Amino acid sequence: MGDRAAAVDGRHLRRQRSQDAVIEAILDLLSAGRAQPTAVLVSERSGVSMRSIFRLFVDMEALHRAAIARQSQRVTAMLVPLPSTGPLADRVAPIVENRAVIFEAIAPVRRLAVRLAPDSPPIRAELARASQVFRGQVAEVFAPELVGAADAGALLDALDVATSWETWERLRVGQGLDVRAAAAAVTLTVTALGSGARPGARAA
């Protein structure tokens, strides 16, 4: 029984290593600029045969879901505690800086997820979950402004959009800004929104 159990454990470990290699390969390919890596490229990159890949994953969509889930774990690890009290400027800077780091890191995988989401309920659900996490951060960081706002719901919506992946992607890709310029644009927008929440309020 001991030898049989060890053999089963060994097969499980080999399967897990192969799955990890395939997932890391597709993430690496995306980061390297391959917008939608093929199974052939994933096989070459991971060293796992095509036949084995499709024993590990039913199809490419299943592999995409696994890669997006792995990326989500990485994003969670990148979230840092953010201040929710103090001057507005001292709260704006950390959230913009953290969003810039996260959005730059996830960009290739996020673009894949956005393309696949219309036909994949699991991926749509993961994107929605991530959006809720980011929105929750905004609600905490800008709680002082939201409490004093005439329309807290609209202000939260505006702050959420200003600090969102979609806005960052528009600035970086649509408008061709570098990271520093994109961060400056987000900072200006968020500061203006926060400063306008209370009559006479100042950003600093």
Name the percent of the chain lying above pLDDT 70.
91
Q: Which two tokens stand for residue 33?
A: 């600029």
Span 86-143, pLDDT tens digits: 999 999 999 999 999 999 988 888 898 888 889 888 888 888 989 999 999 999 999 9
Query: What is the model's pTM?
Result: 0.77
- Distance CA(25)–CA(44), nearest Å, equals 9
String of b and e for 162-191 (b: at least 16 CB within 10 Å)? Answer: bbbbebbbebbeeeebeeeebbebbbebbb
Structural tokens at position 35: 């917008």
Q: 132-135 — which CB contacts under 8 Å span 24+ positions?
A: 133/76, 133/79, 134/99, 134/160, 134/163, 134/164, 134/165, 135/160
Q: For 27-49, write each residue's pLDDT tens digit.
A: 888 877 787 888 999 999 999 99
